[in-house]
Structure 1
Amino acid sequence: MSTPSPIANAVQAHYTRADLGEAILAALQQAGKDPDHLTPPDLTPVDSFHIRGRVATLELARAAGLEATQRVLDVGCGIGGTSRCLASEFGCQVTGVDLTEAYCRVAAMLTEKTGLASLIDYRQADATALPFDEGTFDVVWTEHVAMNIPDKARLYAELHRVLKPGGTLAIYDILAGPSGPVLFPVPWARTPDSSFLVSPDDLRALLQGAGFTVQRWDDTTDAARAWFVALAEKIRQSGLPALGFHLLMGADFAAMAQNQRRNLEEGRIVLAQIVARK
């Protein structure tokens, strides 16, 4: 097994919290939920760790034409919000992979508590060296993941490799805006050292270079901006809620939210939902 790179170690350190599972279960109780009888929407405030949350996931799933018969690979699955959403809403079999081992453990625990373990499994893995045979999956899915990966040519080549011929790549990502640079800290990085954004034009070229044909490209920056402005303002006025992304990021999340609001308002980042075919 190869030794993780300094960047991989930094990314894992950014996301790892030793007591994350216990903290989420305690916050669920505080929010009036029964931790032993959970539904995927109960977890949305903490597990849909991307801009616009579950709404954006469902938008992309419909655009990708997701069906129950498909086997899906969720690359950068985090604590499993997207995998549970896709399995519960569409009935498909989902495998989630994430670089952060603690996220995989928590994802499996929460999936068990939502009764979806028969449809979902998780593995700790590097997105640029996936532990799957060529042509394994009908759909490869990734939301807010590539920002932490410097070797994007290798990333998209791997996603292409594990897809079946004619398979679908579904992407929802943060890209470099025209007004950069990004203000840090942000939810995916506390410093520029582990942030690797590309422009929309660069991403198109990367996907084409990996052998994909882009079928749909939706700029969702305006909706993202409105969503994050509302979130940041709510945190500014009322503080952090019992159940929220701060459980993943710690006390830094308040500053991250304000910076992300500015990054969106000032055009330092843009958002895209993309459907491509192998």
Structure 2
Amino acid sequence: MNAREIRPAGPQGPRLSRADAIRADRRARAPGTDVPHRDYFARPVRPDDPDEADAPDGADDPDRPNAPDRPDDPASLAAAADRLIRLAGTRLAPLPGTALLVIGCGTGRAALLLAEETGCAVTGTDIRAARIATARRRVARSALAVRPEFHTADATALPFPAGSFDQALMMEVTTRMPDTPGRRGKRAALAEAARCLRPGGLLLLADPVGADGTPPGAPGLRLTTRERLPALLDAAGFDVLRIDDLTGLTGEPAAERYPGYVMITAWSRVARVT
């Protein structure tokens, strides 16, 4: 895996206090190694979940990039999903009580795993009411002291006041949106995430990338390039801290659907772009 840190060029002006900047930079690094997945990939898969049959969110949707090419092996998909979620948790490094917004949470797999392993206060949203209903059933069965909350909402119109959250997670959310300036496009979703974050709050974005447009065999996807995603984040009000190239390392058996996969860590600027 190749990982590189990106610092925006030109004069920046005030952003964060020195203490906050040090903490954010520490979150964006893997302690003692440039291979952030080393320990993370060795961790076990969570127990089976009857609501998901141990498959990741949306595994029954053939348009999603994590739809199983091997339907007889859902455990490999679950393992890949949990590894990716834990790597996102390593990048965000939420503390107990950190207000984390999971946009496009699906049936709650990432929300519950991060709440369980970090103690953060998670709120999840998804546009599909059926997925939110499943997430609520799962959290009702859990033994978590601080249980995630779930809401049905569009990623471009979230029902929260500005600055409500410390961190946000978007995993394969903008992948299904067009790269247009309209209200339903990728930039609109990223700008809404920026609005919901406090200034200096962290965003973790994980998306497949490739040539602009719809890849063969995946009509529901709207890919963009790895160069375009940082530009979209900048336009939405974020400074990119780090880009990790996860191509070939997520364990997804869908390489033919898209040629690359990236995870981007960014923070919300004090002066947001509208």
Same fold judged by TM-score > 0.5?
yes
CA distance in 1, matches of 2:47, 2:103: 21
Whichever residue aligns with residue 164 of structure 1, its letter is R
Mapping of residues 9-20 of structure 1, within 5 Å: none
Aligned twin of 2:226: 200
Aligned twin of 1:171: 205
Whichever residue aligns with residue 93 of structure 1, its letter is A
CA distance in 2, matches of 1:109, 1:181: 34
Mapping of residues 74-93 of structure 1, within 5 Å: 74-93=102-121
Q: Does 1:184 align with 2:217?
A: yes
| Structure 1 runs not aligned, ≥5 long | 1-38, 186-190, 230-259
| Structure 2 runs not aligned, ≥5 long | 1-44, 59-65, 67-76, 179-184, 269-274
CA distance in 1, matches of 2:82, 2:111: 11
**Does the Cα contact within 8 Å between 2:92 and 2:202 map onto a contact in 1?**
yes
Aligned twin of 2:237: 211
Q: TM-score, normalised by structure 2?
A: 0.66
Secondary structure, counterpart of 1:123 in structure 2:
strand
Secondary structure, counterpart of 1:262 in structure 2:
coil
Deviation at 1:48, TM superposition (A): 5.1
Mapping of residues 56-67 of structure 1, within 5 Å: 56-67=84-95
Deviant stretches of 4+, over 6 Å: none
**Does the Cα contact within 8 Å between 1:111 and 1:117 map onto a contact in 2?**
no
Mapping of residues 1-278 of structure 1, within 5 Å: 41-43=47-49, 45-47=54-56, 50=66, 52-116=80-144, 118-150=146-178, 151-177=185-211, 182-185=215-218, 191=219, 194-224=220-250, 227-229=251-253, 260-263=254-257, 268-278=258-268
- CA displacement, residues 116-142 of structure 1 (integer Å, 9 cap, x when unaligned): 384201000000011100000000111
- CA displacement, residues 17-56 of structure 1 (integer Å, 9 cap, x when unaligned): xxxxxxxxxxxxxxxxxxxxxx953238224555721111
Report sequence identity in percent: 30
Aligned twin of 1:30: none
- CA displacement, residues 176-226 of structure 1 (integer Å, 9 cap, x when unaligned): 259x861224xxxxx2xx4221111111100011111111110000213xx
Secondary structure, counterpart of 1:223 in structure 2:
coil
Secondary structure, counterpart of 2:107 in structure 1:
coil
Whichever residue aligns with residue 209 of structure 2, its letter is L
**RMSD (CA atoms):** 2.1
User: Structure 1 87/168 Cα, relative in aligned 2: closer, same or farther at 3 Å?
Assistant: same
Deviation at 1:60, TM superposition (A): 1.5
User: Structure 1 146/275 Cα, relative in aligned 2: closer, same or farther at 3 Å?
Assistant: same
**Does the Cα contact within 8 Å between 2:207 and 2:263 map onto a contact in 1?**
yes
Q: TM-score, normalised by structure 1?
A: 0.65
